[in-house]
């Protein structure tokens, strides 16, 4: 097989396993990631990777291949407007709807290295102090075992700490670690339950939830996969529960099961109760 055929093969394999699409303009990224895998397993070339997949590979190999295929770009409080909307509108509204802060059930989908769910946990702790209530735990999932291990450790570099995290929150929730890194406090890590989950292939999904964050996930999927994922996630959301997407994503043309309200410049989707009952 030539290099073009190898890239085509792995792009199709990754799409079938994860739904993630590598198009012509970003195949160079896939090439770089395959080269990393070649070096990791001390192979001669990507052709050897192809041979391993065709031979069935091993669990470690398949895990690493999925790990390198995912885009784990993230930061603390990514999109300040989004988290301000959560703090001012979404979370206080859910406290009323759910009969208390501790009763809210939250799922952070594709949580990457943990910055999203941990940022949300900080908001919940701060809200809990204001209203004298305990915060709920957050379920956070990702397809990559490697990135989940990083999230579980809760150790972040100075560069990661400088992206979206205020000095006050750095002091409140982290302590200095070795080698110019910072460790998230144990009580904050305990608020996030991290699990491996594949949105495409997992037979059953958890729920029901009051709030699902599925941000910057669908932009890497084909329309058919987007529809499939939204349909599956809608079944994990209680009637009138809230579904939040990334700022560059939209429900338009993908589902009729939600109503949209624009609040503080953020699109908030709520699961239609009538649709839920007739499903």
Across 64-100, b (16+ Cβ under 10 Å) vs e yields: bbbbbbbebebbbbbbeebbebbbeebbeebbeebee
Distance CA 133, CA 155 (A): 28
Q: Which CATH architecture has domain 80-278?
A: 3-Layer(aba) Sandwich (3.40)
Domain with CATH 3.40.50.150 in the chain: 80-278
DSSP string, 44-111: SSHHHHHHHHHTT--HHHHHHHHHHHS-----TTSSHHHHHHIIIIIHHHHHHHHTSGGG--EEESS-
Task: Kindly state the tokens that stand for 210.
Answer: 């009051």
- The CA-atom distances, in angstroms, between 93 and each of 87, 97, 243, 266 are 10, 6, 14, 15
Q: Among 22, 26, 36, 28, which residue's Cα sits nearest to residue 65?
A: 36
Q: What is the pLDDT along the chain (279 residues), one digit of tens a residue?
A: 677 888 888 888 887 777 777 777 677 778 888 888 888 788 888 888 888 878 876 677 777 777 777 766 689 999 999 999 999 999 999 999 999 999 999 999 989 999 999 999 999 999 999 999 999 999 999 988 888 999 999 999 999 999 899 999 999 999 998 778 999 999 999 999 999 998 888 888 999 999 999 998 887 788 888 899 999 999 999 999 999 999 888 898 899 999 999 998 899 999 987 543 433
């Amino acid at each position: 097989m030539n290099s073009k055929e190898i890239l085509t093969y792995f792009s199709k394999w990754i799409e079938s396993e994860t739904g993630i699409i590598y198009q012509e303009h970003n195949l160079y990224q896939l090439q770089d990631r395959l080269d990393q895998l070649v070096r990791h397993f001390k192979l001669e070339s990507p052709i050897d990777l192809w041979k391993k997949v065709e031979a069935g590979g091993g669990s470690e190999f398949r895990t690493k291949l999925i790990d390198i295929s995912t885009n784990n770009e993230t930061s603390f409080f990514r999109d300040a407007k989004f988290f301000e909307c959560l703090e001012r509108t979404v979370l206080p509204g859910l406290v009323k709807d759910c009969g208390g802060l501790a009763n809210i059930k939250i799922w952070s989908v594709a949580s990457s290295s943990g910055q999203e769910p941990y940022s949300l946990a900080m908001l919940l702790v701060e809200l809990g102090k204001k209203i004298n209530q305990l915060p709920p735990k957050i379920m956070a999932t990702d397809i990559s075992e490697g990135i989940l291990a990083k999230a579980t450790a809760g150790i972040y570099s100075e560069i990661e700490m400088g992206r979206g995290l205020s000095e006050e929150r750095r002091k409140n929730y982290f302590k200095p670690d070795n080698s110019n890194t910072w460790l998230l406090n144990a009580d904050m890590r305990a608020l996030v339950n991290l699990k491996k989950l594949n949105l495409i292939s997992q037979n059953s999904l958890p729920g029901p939830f009051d709030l699902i964050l599925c941000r910057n996930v669908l932009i890497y999927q084909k329309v058919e996969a987007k529809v499939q994922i939204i349909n599956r996630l809608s079944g994990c959301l209680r009637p009138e529960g809230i579904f939040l997407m990334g700022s560059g994503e939209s429900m338009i043309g993908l589902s009729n099961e939600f109503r949209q309200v624009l609040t503080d410049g953020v699109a908030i989707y709520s699961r239609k109760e009538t649709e839920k009952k007739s499903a």
